[in-house]
Amino acid sequence: MICATEGTLSMTCVELERQIAKITMAMMARNSQIGKDLISHLKTQLSTEVVAGIMIISIERVLWFDPNSVLWTVNNLLPADIQQEIQNTFLVHFYKQLISKGFIPGEDFSIDASSQLLLNSQAKSAIFSHSKVEPHIKTC
């Protein structure tokens, strides 16, 4: 079974799981050199979008065991293109979630020129009502 494909290169589910485990361990060890090398290697084989997905999975796993390592990862490990792709992934997710809840783009929510999600108070409440995290999102 192939879990990740890019052009003529592909990764089986086992290989993908190994890469996620390696990145997760580098994040928890807070070893930027190993983490950056692993990310660079993945970027030679896969698209930025796929690598960002791998990083999202790795971050989710680390979040359960060591939330401070997630903050370290964001500040010290993620290249700008991967950070941007992760942000784009979440913006698309939030957009779809808001539309499915009946909110109207441009009226209840939008994205500004710097890719910041802008929400009115009802949309903000709908997205973050079950979260204990205080979002850093502008209210429009």
The reported pLDDT for the residue numbered 39 is 96
Cβ atoms within 10 Å, residue 6 = 14
Task: Report d(CA 16, CA 78) in Å as an integer.
Answer: 18
pLDDT the model gives residue 125: 86
Strand-pairing partners, residue 105, are 109
What pLDDT is stored for residue 102 in this prediction?
A: 92
φ and ψ of 115, to 5 deg = 65, 30
d(C-alpha 52, C-alpha 91), whole Å: 14
Radius of gyration of the chain (CA): 17
10-residue stretch averages of pLDDT, the chain, 140 residues long: 58 90 95 95 92 95 92 93 92 89 90 85 81 53
pLDDT given at position 8: 46
Q: Which residue, among 75, 68, 65, 61, has the nearest Cα to 23 in the 3D structure?
A: 61
pLDDT at 56: 95
Q: How far apart are CA 96 and CA 12, in angstroms?
A: 29
Residue 31 CA to residue 11 CA, distance in Å, equals 24
pLDDT of residue 9: 59
